[in-house]
A and B are shown apart, each in its own frame.
Chain A
Amino acid sequence: AQSVTQLDSQVPVFEEAPVELRCNYSSSVSVYLFWYVQYPNQGLQLLLKYLSGSTLVKGINGFEAEFNKSQTSFHLRKPSVHISDTAEYFCAVSGSGAGSYQLTFGKGTKLSVIP
C-alpha cells in the first residue's frame, strides 16, 4: 500500500514569487508519482508525472517537480507564479507493479496567489 503526505494545506504567495509545494510518499514498492491541479468547481487535471529516468520532470504551465528517492519526496516548484495558478494541487502515487492500478492522493495544498 502507498500513502501520500502533503505537508502544507494552504500556501499563500505573492504574484511573480517562486513557490514550492511539498509532497512525501510512503511505499514498499517502486512507484509512479503525479501532480494534479484542481481549479475551482472543476475536476482534476494532470500537471506532470514521474515514471522513470530523469528525476526532474517538467509539466504544463511552467511547473516542474523533482523525484528524490532517498527522501521519498516529489516536491512541485514554479519559479514565478501567476494569479491564474490559484488552485488546489494534489500529489498522487501509484505502485509500478502489475495490478497496481490505484492512485492514492494526498489531502491537497491550496495555493493562493496574492496580487
Chain B
Amino acid sequence: DAGVIQSPRHEVTEMGQEVTLRCKPISGHNSLFWYRQTMMRGLELLIYFNNNVPIDDSGMPEDRFSAKMPNASFSTLKIQPSEPRDSAVYFCASRTGLAGYNEQFFGPGTRLTVL
C-alpha cells in the first residue's frame, strides 16, 4: 500500500491567494483527519470525517478554512484567502473505524508558506 498521499509537499504563496491541499487516504480507511503543526501550537486537529461526512470541524480556525471529502479516496483542505499566520505543516491522516484505539496513519505533510 502506498500509504496516505498528500500533495503538494511544499507550497509557497502570497497573502490573499487561495490554497488547496489534497489528500488520498489509505484504501479501505473510512476515517480521515486534517491536522496543522506549528512550533507554537504543536499538532492541532482541524477537522474529522467519517464515511465522507464531516463529524467535527470545531478545530477549523476561521471561515477562511474549508474542507471537503467528495468520495472515500479524496479530500481537500482549502484556505481562502491565505494569510502569513497560516504558514504551517498540514497533515492528513486516515484510519479504519470510529474507535479511538485504531492507529492513525499519517501522510508526509504539506509545508505551506504564506508570504
Interface residues of A (CB under 8 A from B): 32, 34, 36, 41-46, 49, 51, 90, 94-96, 99-103, 105-108
Contacts and interface: CB of A to CB of B under 8 A. Distances in A.
Interface residues of B, number: 23
A102 B43 contact: no
A90 B43 contact: yes
B101 A96 contact: yes
A43 to B, nearest CB: 3
B91 A44 contact: yes
Contact of B100 (A32, A45, A105, A107): A32
Contact of B56 (A90, A95, A96, A102): A102
Contacts of B101: 32, 49, 51, 94, 96
B100 A101 contact: yes
B34 interface: no
Given A51-B101, A94-B100, A100-B100, A105 B106 contact: no
